[in-house]
Structure 1
Amino acid sequence: MSTKQEIINAFHYRFACKVFDTTKNISDEDFEFILETGRLSPSSFGLEPWKILVVENKTLRQEIMPLAWGAQTQLPTADKFLIILSRKKESLLPESDYIQNQVNHVLEMPAEVAEAYTAHFGNFLKNDFDLLVDDRRVFDWASRQAYLAMANMMTSAAAIGIDSCPIEGFDMKAVEQLLADKNVINSEEFGVSAMLAFGYRANPPSRDKKRQSLETLIETIY
């Protein structure tokens, strides 16, 4: 089988699994592989404005249940349950400790390059995308970056026969407050973008994958 066909097969295999088989567990090696594909994912300016919480604590899962209407079957059955965090405005300003650490120590830019890069990023935030008008715009931009990592993790999981389900059905403010009260997150720095469940399907999908045709989705401009 060609590499291209293997990738297409993974996309066909993946579906939003609502109920997982609780008798099957993901191996540490496979889960580390999934997380690594998230870590290696692209992000705008290479700033990786996300963090991933792996919720192994069963009590915390139970406390999330009444706040997450979209995860009522995934929380109790998924082998791995993730909360995807994205950074808020203050930690993404060009002069913030996070951005300065990212460009100077993670990306290892020379001092003069780092200075020009952060100035360019500041112009992007303020002018190109007009993100500094309010706090939510920056968080939403960071969330779009986090979704790239989520997509890659779901596809890589499907490629090795592991199922997943992305979840947005939850009370964002209430979940953030719960995590802050438990000192899991600093709510000034991070917000909750999504949840993501992994495991093995309890049942096959009820129908084949339905999508619009390429002809409908794609318009070529000559």
Structure 2
Amino acid sequence: MSDSQKREALIHAHEFRHATKQFDTSKSIDQADFETILEVARLSPSSVGLEPWRFLVIENKALREKIKQTSWGAKDKVMDASRFVIILARTAADVRYDANYIKTHYLDTLGFKPERVSGIRQMLEHFQRDDFKLLDDPRYLTDWAKRQTYIPLANMMTVAAEMGIDSCPIEGFNELEINQLLGAEGLLDGGNFTVSVMVAFGYRVNVPYPKTRRPVTDVVQWVE
């Protein structure tokens, strides 16, 4: 494939992708294809490599029904989509610079040496306390973690589109009620996670309208 063909294929995938409102219940996503989508999510970048997320793949029909009753944005999609994912974000208790999760993540998961971890935590403290004022309110730290979950969300939808799989991101839910539901199901690790966003995957029923966007001259500014 030539460079121009690669560029064309990338643009085509984004032209194909749209927020699918109705999924074909007769079609299922191949397991290997969906595992590829999840692997792309796992490999997504995060601020200082914190990986402040978890991906709940909701296969349980009874739980999907409960989500349907709680989330107005997912009401139809959660039942009809081939795959339904809730992306969780780590809460302030885990992403504060002195949190145990940060220490163990760098030491045990990433294999950093203790002195390097100490330097990273000092940098994080400065960033959180002075640069972004995230320590002024625990909500700020949690929101910081939530914003990062949108990176794997976008990557998942992009690679799905490249494989001809439809998707729909969902924010139409009551955060408190969904957290209560997931907490009762034992899915929030006792409060170390909170719901961030949902996303449904499957295959469209209807052909969407042609995509429209603001002109490139309105959204891109070259600063020379």
- Structures share a fold, TM > 0.5? yes
Name 2:125's counterpart in structure 1.
122
RMSD value, Cα: 1.1
**Matched position secondary structure for 1:109:** coil
Superposed, 1:53-202 pairs within 5 Å as 53-202=56-205
Name 1:215's counterpart in structure 2.
217
CA distance in 2, matches of 1:4, 1:161: 17
Q: TM-score, normalised by structure 2?
A: 0.95
**Matched position secondary structure for 1:146:** helix
1:140 Cα deviation (Å)?
1.1
CA distance in 2, matches of 1:3, 1:126: 43
1:221 Cα deviation (Å)?
2.4
1:90 Cα deviation (Å)?
0.9
1:87 Cα deviation (Å)?
0.8
| Amino acid of the structure 1 residue aligned with 2:149 | A
CA distance in 1, matches of 2:127, 2:26: 48
1:162 Cα deviation (Å)?
0.4
1:183 Cα deviation (Å)?
1.3
Name 2:52's counterpart in structure 1.
49
Contact 1:176 1:187 in 2 (8 A): no
CA distance in 2, matches of 1:15, 1:51: 24
CA distance in 2, matches of 1:107, 1:188: 24
Contact 1:82 1:196 in 2 (8 A): yes
CA distance in 2, matches of 1:164, 1:122: 37
Structure 2 residue runs of 5 or longer lacking an equivalent are: none
Shift >2 Å, 4+ stretches = none
* 1:33 aligns to 2:36 (yes or no): yes
CA distance in 2, matches of 1:93, 1:22: 42
CA distance in 1, matches of 2:104, 2:177: 31
1:156-214, Cα deviation, whole Å (9 max, x unpaired): 00000000000000011000001111212135211101111001111111x11111111
Structure 1 residue runs of 5 or longer lacking an equivalent are: none
| Amino acid of the structure 2 residue aligned with 1:9 | H
